[in-house]
């Protein structure tokens, strides 16, 4: 598993030359040190995963286990030395401000989103990354799909237990050369008792 390379091509199932196989990408954010097990099950069924920041610790990165590819992650505003265990400092230091992932049919950009004000954030992100086919951000903890224009702007919501606004959530992007589709996963909130440990 690669913690956070700044850019990279996604590894996926073998396909005929010139006809890349579809790649399933788990998209999550705002774990703040803990990932809901139901989100982990979604990640395990994907080819690779991206995390939109506010990760919380290296254990979160270690538990994300997609089938074929690595895990890419962007650094969030709460991914600071004061907020991470000191033993995880090497992982934290490798986290970039944003990540660009090459997929069949285009580029996926992952950024936490705190770098831009909430008002007009989608337009600002589209202007900053016009070459992307889709943009992922976190920060707001609110699940959102803005597919009205290109690039798409996607927020998977919070995959942990902090401010989930209706329950932990994530997205799955299926990318092939001709078509990208998004599937939403929203789970019932967990009780405080089941969140400990």
Q: pLDDT tens for residues 59-93?
A: 999 999 999 878 999 999 999 999 999 999 999 99
Q: What is the pLDDT of residue 9?
A: 33
Q: What is the pLDDT of residue 70?
A: 87
**Which of 73, 79, 164 shows the shortest CA–CA distance to 114?**
79
Q: What is the pLDDT of residue 191?
A: 65
Q: What is the pLDDT of residue 17?
A: 54
Backbone angles phi, psi at 50, to 5 degrees: -130, 145
Q: What is the pLDDT of residue 116?
A: 85
Q: Which two tokens stand for residue 64?
A: 């994300």
Cα distance between residue 106 and residue 85, in whole Å: 36
Backbone angles phi, psi at 43, to 5 degrees: -60, -40
Q: What is the pLDDT of residue 69?
A: 74
Cα distance between residue 170 and residue 3, in whole Å: 19
> Any alpha helices (H) in the chain, and if so which ranges?
37-44, 58-63, 89-93, 121-128, 192-195
Tell me whether the omega of the peptide bond preceding residue 151 falls within 30 degrees of 0, making it cis.
yes
Mark the ranges of the chain whose per-residue pLDDT is less than 70.
Answer: 1-19, 191-197
């Amino acid at each position: 598993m690669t913690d956070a390379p700044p850019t990279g091509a996604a590894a996926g199932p073998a396909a005929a030359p010139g006809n890349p196989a579809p790649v399933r990408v788990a998209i999550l954010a705002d774990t703040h040190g803990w990932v809901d097990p139901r989100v982990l099950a979604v990640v395990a069924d994907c080819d690779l995963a991206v995390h939109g920041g506010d990760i919380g610790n290296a254990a979160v990165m270690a538990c994300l286990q997609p089938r074929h590819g690595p895990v890419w992650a962007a650094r969030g505003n709460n991914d600071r030395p004061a907020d991470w265990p000191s033993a995880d400092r090497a992982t934290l230091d490798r986290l970039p401000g944003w990540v660009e992932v090459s997929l069949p049919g285009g580029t996926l950009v992952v950024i936490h989103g705190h770098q831009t004000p909430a008002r007009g954030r989608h337009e600002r992100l589209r202007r900053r990354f016009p070459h992307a086919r889709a943009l992922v951000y976190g920060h707001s903890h609110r699940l959102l799909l803005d597919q009205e224009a290109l690039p798409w702007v996607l927020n998977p919501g919070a995959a942990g237990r902090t401010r989930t606004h209706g329950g932990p959530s994530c997205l799955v992007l299926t990318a092939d050369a001709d078509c990208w589709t998004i599937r939403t996963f929203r789970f019932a909130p967990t009780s405080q008792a089941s969140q400990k440990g």
